[in-house]
């Protein structure tokens, strides 16, 4: 997803791509302001590093709010432009999740995220009046996509897809590997993951979930659990890495688009498993907005979505609740 970096530590055995006789190749690098790591089984030894990085660079020119020439930047600047496949896919999935979460997931939250200092523009001076003013042009009903053309009810409407685009970028790379006939792989970008088949040991891939401890900035150092994952995607959202404190008050990066303010509930992190990573990414963000009880209620209506939710009680102690499938996938509790 996005603005959150490496919530998930990938627990798997890889081998260097300069080991000539290996049938599993691993490589990684830096993309989209974060890191990536890809492992796959190959019969011909072909390394797709350049192809994948070129693919992600193309993806960036569509959906990066930090790229001044990207399609999404031009949309936010109210330039008349035709949208592309990447944008249309993200927009349509976002609209679906927006509807199912009663507005908890909303691309038009961008002006609020920026105002609080977590977006792609400078932080504003926050007052109740300022937030009320911004809320007048926040809402998915204020933007529409028709025949690859975006329309807005207000030119101040601005969109930010960081809460879904990183997961989608994982799917894009996975689709590339699928088209190359790769049967076993793990794709990880910024902590969002998609797996297929098995690892080098011919077993399910293993994914570690970090404990949601403030400033836990080293992935894998403090794991909450390890999950087996095959032919599914996983994404995590949380507030323990991206926040700031002012006058003794902690402000998280998760902004509720309905109130305009950072969330203050007990849910610390949400890990979601879905078939595709774009869906997992979006719902992980939505659950962080909704909080524990509303997320659990919604999960009962989402048969293809699994979640592992970590929350704190009044004494600050951690607790976990999850859907039944994830309980079966847990291989180790730290």
According to the model, what pLDDT value does residue 85 have? 97
According to the model, what pLDDT value does residue 119 have? 66
Measured CA to CA, the distance from residue 194 to residue 184 in angstroms comes to: 11
For residues 191 and 86, the model is more confident at: 86
The residue with tokens 């798997």 is 12
According to the model, what pLDDT value does residue 332 have? 76
* pLDDT tops 90 at residue 302: yes
Which whole number is the average pLDDT over 220-233? 87
For residues 291 and 239, the model is more confident at: 291
pLDDT band at 240 (very low <50, low <70, confident <90, very high): low
Measured CA to CA, the distance from residue 253 to residue 239 in angstroms comes to: 7
Percent of all residues in the chain with a pLDDT value above 90, rounded to a whole number: 67
Q: Which of 35-49, 82-96, 105-119, 232-246 has the lowest mean pLDDT?
A: 232-246
Strand partners, 323: none
- Contact status, residue 17 vs residue 2, Cβ threshold 8 Å: no
Which whole number is the average pLDDT over 21-48? 89
According to the model, what pLDDT value does residue 183 have? 96
Q: Which of 147-156, 212-221, 322-331 has the lowest mean pLDDT?
A: 212-221
Q: Any residues with CB less than 8 A from the CB of 333 and at least 6 apart, and which?
A: 224, 225
* pLDDT tops 50 at residue 218: no
Strand partners, 251: 244
According to the model, what pLDDT value does residue 254 have? 87
For residues 232 and 334, the model is more confident at: 232
In this structure, the number of other CB atoms found within 10 A of the CB of residue 37 comes to 16
pLDDT band at 223 (very low <50, low <70, confident <90, very high): confident
According to the model, what pLDDT value does residue 110 have? 93
Measured CA to CA, the distance from residue 160 to residue 72 in angstroms comes to: 8
Query: Domain residues of the chain, as ranges?
Result: 59-159
Read off the pLDDT of residues 93-126 as tens digits, 9 standing for 90 and up: 999 999 999 999 999 999 998 888 876 666 667 8
According to the model, what pLDDT value does residue 135 have? 97
Q: Which of 8-12, 29-33, 270-274 has the lowest mean pLDDT?
A: 8-12
Task: Name the packing angle between helices 162-179 and 277-290 (round to 10°).
Answer: 160
Measured CA to CA, the distance from residue 285 to residue 299 in angstroms comes to: 14
> What average pLDDT is seen over the chain?
87
Which of 212, 165, 215 is CA-nearest to residue 190?
Answer: 165
According to the model, what pLDDT value does residue 118 have? 77
* pLDDT tops 50 at residue 49: yes
- Contact status, residue 206 vs residue 11, Cβ threshold 8 Å: yes
Which whole number is the average pLDDT over 125-131? 89
Q: How far is CA 273 from CA 65, 184, 279, in A?
A: 26, 18, 9
The residue with tokens 């699928």 is 178
- CA 6 vs. chain centroid, Å, equals 10
Long-range (24+ apart) CB contacts under 8 A made by 211-214 are 211/310, 211/318, 211/334, 212/238, 212/239, 212/240, 212/268, 212/269, 212/310, 212/318, 213/240, 214/240, 214/243
For residues 16 and 315, the model is more confident at: 315
According to the model, what pLDDT value does residue 53 have? 95
Which whole number is the average pLDDT over 77-98? 97
Give the residue ranges of DSSP H helices in the chain. 49-63, 71-76, 85-100, 110-115, 128-135, 162-179, 277-290, 292-299, 324-329
* pLDDT tops 60 at residue 264: yes
- Measured between its terminal Cα atoms, the distance across the chain in Å is 25
Domain at 59-159: CATH code: 1.10.3980.10
According to the model, what pLDDT value does residue 220 have? 52
pLDDT band at 144 (very low <50, low <70, confident <90, very high): very high
């Amino acid at each position: 997803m996005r603005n959150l970096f490496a919530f998930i530590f990938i627990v798997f055995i890889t081998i260097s791509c300069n080991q000539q006789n290996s049938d599993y190749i691993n490589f990684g690098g830096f993309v989209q302001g974060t890191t990536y790591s890809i492992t796959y089984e190959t019969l011909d030894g072909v390394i797709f590093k350049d192809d994948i990085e070129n693919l992600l660079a193309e993806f960036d020119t569509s959906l990066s709010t930090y790229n001044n020439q990207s399609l999404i930047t031009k949309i936010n600047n109210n330039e008349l432009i035709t949208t592309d496949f990447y944008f249309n896919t993200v927009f349509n999935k976002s609209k679906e999740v927006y509807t199912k979460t009663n507005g908890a997931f909303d691309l038009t939250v961008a002006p609020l995220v920026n105002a609080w200092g977590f977006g792609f523009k400078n932080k504003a001076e926050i007052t109740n009046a300022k937030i009320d003013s911004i809320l007048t042009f926040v809402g998915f009903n204020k933007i529409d996509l028709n025949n690859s053309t975006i329309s807005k009810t207000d030119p101040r409407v601005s969109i930010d897809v960081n809460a879904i685009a990183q997961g989608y970028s994982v799917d894009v790379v996975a689709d590339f590997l699928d088209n190359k006939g790769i049967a076993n792989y793990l794709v990880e970008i910024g902590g969002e993951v998609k797996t297929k088949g098995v690892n080098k040991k011919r077993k399910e891939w293993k994914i570690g979930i970090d404990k949601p401890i403030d400033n836990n900035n080293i992935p894998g150092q403090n794991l909450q659990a390890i999950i087996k994952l095959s032919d599914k995607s996983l994404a995590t959202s949380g507030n323990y890495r991206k926040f700031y404190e002012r006058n003794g008050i902690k402000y998280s990066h998760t902004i509720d688009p309905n109130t305009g303010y950072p969330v203050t509930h007990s849910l610390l992190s949400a890990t979601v498993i879905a078939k595709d990573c774009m869906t997992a990414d979006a719902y992980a963000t939505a659950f962080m907005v909704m909080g524990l009880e509303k997320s659990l209620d919604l999960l009962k209506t989402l048969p293809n979505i699994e979640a592992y939710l970590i929350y704190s009680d009044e004494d600050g102690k951690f607790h976990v609740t999850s859907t039944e499938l994830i309980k079966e996938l847990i291989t180790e509790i730290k």
